[in-house]
Structure 1
């Protein structure tokens, strides 16, 4: 599946690189919020500041993530905001800046791991993992589907937005007593709207580390939706 075609979009908040087709938008992106009108902001909306805007402090700044109005001190930092597809760092309030910084790791690291894919033994809820089939599993370039690529068998893609829950499948403990992640059970709605469970187990006889890293990255998905 080819990466979606994108275009440059200019808004009052900054330049964004967005898909030409809205149906290709990543489920992890956020829409730009409406800005709180200047005339409705007599003071900074940081509850710990509340500095009043007057003839001395007249400049008002809007956080690109939440759209609220702040004084320069409370909204002077410019930080990356990948969930809104901004090309350059944009002005954000103190609270939103910290949220965006935590999310940047997901976009810069975990999404790339998921798109690179991994090898798993895949089975549905009515089939034991031992009877599953080998698939190369990865997230599509637009982040909307979990794809299963097999040489012999086929499995319908799982829509990321249709995932209800994720459960780690364990495979014993390591020498230090830590639980080892050996797979993942994904509860999702299929194309008919019915609930299904697909089990993905790291293939035996292979280097399990890449699969375990992929599983850890997939766990992050439920926190970003």
Structure 2
């Protein structure tokens, strides 16, 4: 589920793990530490000096201390879960706008789920609904119709995913058409696992492609999360 928290920048609705884990979702962003006013006599972006008429502002996405000209855009920031629009610097405003389609529409598709024929390690496992967990940390499987496997597959942690590739079929015109997605990840034992989720029914093709496209976008955001986490770790170690 989600929980409402109050921060120095406003109210935030953030994913919450009912098990009490503090591990963040790789699809979310933590609030940054703000640059100290004391260390910023001038705008960090344009170098103009602060004064009584030129006040300091902080970008809620990156924490930079900037003037009103460099930090004036108020935009929704769903990746941090803010309830109301918040201040952005220009670079962060562009990044937030680029993510708007995913957090405004695609993430809801992932949570709603899509029905697939599932195979694990090359063996058919049955028909399942695959959806993004409400804490936005894993893909979960639920029974979705006839021919179900007796054992429900374990969730796939987003951070454990190693690759995510389209599954295609050849149509009557010898054209390659996407019909699903192939996911490789490492399970809790460190073993590499491969799952193929496909749907070849023409009546569900549009829904399938929309869900697969949303998952591909999500995995790009997860990859960005991994890169940022590795950079922060290397900085803290040094």
* TM-score, length basis structure 1: 0.86
Cα distance in 1 between the residues matched to 2:73 and 2:190: 44
Structure 1 residues 172 and 45: alpha-carbon distance in aligned structure 2, compared to 1, 3 A threshold: farther
Q: Which residue of 2 aligns with 1:27?
A: 26
Shift in Å, 1:166 = 0.4
Cα distance in 1 between the residues matched to 2:82 and 2:120: 39
Shift in Å, 1:164 = 1.6
Structure 1 residues 91 and 178: alpha-carbon distance in aligned structure 2, compared to 1, 3 A threshold: farther
Within-5 A mapping of 1:35-184: 35-46=34-45, 49-54=46-51, 56-57=53-54, 59-127=55-123, 131-150=124-143, 151-153=148-150, 154-172=152-170, 179-184=176-181
Q: Find the residue that maps to 2:21 and give its secondary structure.
A: helix
Q: Find the residue that maps to 1:123 and give its secondary structure.
A: strand
Alignment RMSD: 2.2
**Contact 1:163–1:187 under 8 Å retained in 2:** yes
Which blocks of at least 5 consecutive residues in structure 1 are unaligned? none
Q: Find the residue that maps to 1:23 and give its secondary structure.
A: coil
Q: Find the residue that maps to 1:87 and give its secondary structure.
A: coil
Q: Which residue of 1 aligns with 2:12?
A: 16
Q: Which residue of 2 aligns with 1:191?
A: 188
Q: Deviations over 1:35-77 (max 9, x none)?
A: 111121122111xx221224553x1001011111110011111
Q: Deviations over 1:49-106 (max 9, x none)?
A: 221224553x100101111111001111111111111110001101101111111211
Cα distance in 2 between the residues matched to 1:152 and 1:193: 24
**Contact 2:15–2:134 under 8 Å retained in 1:** no
Shift in Å, 1:12 = 1.6
Structure 1 residues 55 and 204: alpha-carbon distance in aligned structure 2, compared to 1, 3 A threshold: closer
Cα distance in 2 between the residues matched to 1:116 and 1:5: 16
Aligned length: 214
Which blocks of at least 5 consecutive residues in structure 2 are unaligned? 223-238
Q: Which deviates more from structure 2 when the two are superposed, residues 165-174 or residues 155-164?
A: 165-174
Shift in Å, 1:173 = 6.1
Q: Which residue of 2 aligns with 1:223?
A: 220
